[in-house]
Structure 1
């Protein structure tokens, strides 16, 4: 089970319970509409009527899509509109009901676990104890960080508070006294330990924004940029649109936005593999096992084991090294050209006489401390798709 919404992520769409296919320069419209390119005025009418400052949101969407060279087709624009509305209801930094109390509960219940995950058992436990002391007594007992945490209203409020806490710790706590070698390193340790990792109006991972930074800025400046209307849109549109797929329906791209690029394609690959081998697989879109920092683990996944079995039984020669190299491309379109992908497609067609399905809905459970119950990627993608359909109806009424 993928735990997508842990303490390290505050999904605004879930907290608030707010109720492509090709990308880049390619149009998502039917043949009849392929010459239609939206202008700023038309985009304004596609933004839901409940949104304040529709003009400025439309202006930014229009400008960003131009900057990123994404064609402003109805489907492309409505895909962006649907995700923004689902994630934040078109509020750059919305208030989150009960956020302070929820953050405090996480500190009390999962603090040491988070520190040990990041710093190891020995160091993590020691730093967690110090962190608790700082929370209760700094900068003063009367106005402690813990009391300030209870009062936060927005994700940015909580983010900035964590920055202040870790800045204090880097100046006053010397880890080297415990380990002899380890040291706190300014923003580095603060960034490693900051539980707010997904932020802005489109809830983009900070690590993704770092990889695609639009300006030269430090990590705090980048975080602040994500909380702005333009910055949140820029990185979200980049994340949503700037990777090519052959999806027949936009709902699969919406699913990818929730569970990871190419998850829908990879889940279909897993389903094909399951049918060919009879091995039960998690259809979660991850063909390898990954550590918490997103790096592939050496341990073989069930998908990798099933592939090895399939190739051995089918007389297909793909070495373990080559198989692992192919699977490492699963987050890219290039995976579709690998020997592994093509061999599985061919075997499926030979066995069934049918073309293998390209995409299915990933079976990913969405769980987290702030959710009243578990959800799944299908729930998320379906809600986004409902907003997308409403936007497309508005688009048909444009003249």
Structure 2
């Protein structure tokens, strides 16, 4: 079963045709030959699917397996070369952006931690994001004013074997099937938590995509980024401005209209819509229901007429990946294609 057929049902309760034991056996068979602890990975993947009532089809299972392989090569807590230096540089950048004086950061990190080492020394020696996050949680909890002054400086925002957003996990922790050992953040770093929340982020929302490739792009760029990028490409055929195909329909960080919203407003008379009605429609850009709005339907209707053919309703967003850990030019399209290649190889193992 492809993800197009799955789109309407992946977020709804399903009665799997396979028993949990059969699903675990299937996952173990689909895992790449290089994966170790196969039974443990199979158990966590099966549990995530069962808890979220997702269909354990080959395509679904292989989609999750492909993301894990791409992001961590089946290491629950992957090591990052040079992470200590990367982390300290990122802390300093964030502090400068928030106008926290450098001498204050240095003085706080020079404080001796419960291990006997200073926090600066511990950060310099970390090898994995989990170690770094543990140091930071310790630091924030113990250092005077640590939470108030440095609570936003933790450089770890994606974590675990699927590199899922900690913020996403915190928003979607309801229904988590395990007893938490501490915070949601700590659970994301575990194999079971990383798989659970990563699976939710990848498959736990409905789409009308023609192939899995676009879910992988959304996993990297945000839900519905591929659909919204196609909408922006359609807009580019109707307006003089050339919009970035980033999937962001409104500027959530500002009260003023962003470039995509301004482009749609310029078509207000042709759409027969007011600015407020346009804004209300674009506000649904992170929902499936955006496709039912007049803005979405009329823009594509007009763009199809200009093109003389139906335009694609999903394209890969044009986003360059930015992270302190990334040292070369990578894009969302690159990520999506790499994961899709892994998915195809997984399917072939069935």
Q: Which residue of 2 aligns with 1:158?
A: 132
Bigger Cα displacement from structure 2, 189-198 vs 365-374: 189-198
* Counterpart selection for 1:203 from 150, 163, 167: 163
| Counterpart pick for 1:132 among 106, 111, 119 | 106
Aligned partner of 2:14 in structure 1 is none
1:107 Cα deviation from its structure 2 partner: 3.6
CA deviation after TM superposition for structure 1 residue 219, in Å:
10
Residue correspondence of structure 1 range 150-299 to structure 2 within 5 A: 150-169=124-143, 172-173=144-145, 191-213=151-173, 214-215=175-176, 220-291=182-253, 297-299=254-256
Over aligned residue pairs, what C-alpha RMSD do you find?
2.7
Classify 1:219/1:163 alpha carbon distance in 2 versus 1 (closer, same or farther; 3 Å). Answer: farther
Q: How many residues align?
A: 339
| TM-score when normalising by structure 2 | 0.89
Please give the per-residue CA displacement for 1:126-183, whole angstroms capped at 9, x wherever unaligned.
5x532220112434997211111111111111001111222233xx24xxxxxxxxxx
Instruction: Tell me the residue number matched to 2:23.
Output: 39
2:87 to 73, 92, 103: 103
**2: CA distance, partners of 1:189 / 1:227:** 24
Q: Distance in 2 between matches of 1:218 and 1:150?
A: 29
What secondary structure, in the 3-state scheme, does the structure 1 residue paired with 2:238 have? helix
Q: 1:164 to 1:242 in 2, by over 3 A?
A: same
Match of 1:147 in 2: 121
Residues 189/232 of structure 1: CA separation in 2 closer, same or farther (3 Å cut): farther
Q: How has the CA–CA distance of structure 1 residues 309 and 94 changed in structure 2, closer, same or farther, with 3 Å as cutoff?
A: same
Unpaired segments ≥5 residues, structure 2:
12-16
Indicate how the Cα distance of structure 1 residues 130 and 190 shifts in structure 2: closer, same or farther if over 3 A, else same: closer
Question: Which whole-Å CA distance do the structure 1 matches of 2:122 and 2:49 have between them?
Answer: 39
Per the TM alignment, residue 95 of structure 1 is displaced from its structure 2 partner at its CA by: 1.9
Give, in angstroms, the shift of residue 112 of structure 1: 2.6
Structure-2 separation of matches of 1:326 and 1:220: 39
TM-score normalized with structure 1 length: 0.78
Deviation track 1:50-72 (CA, whole Å, cap 9, x = no partner) reads 11111111122112212211111
CA change 1:74–1:57 in 2 (3 A) is same
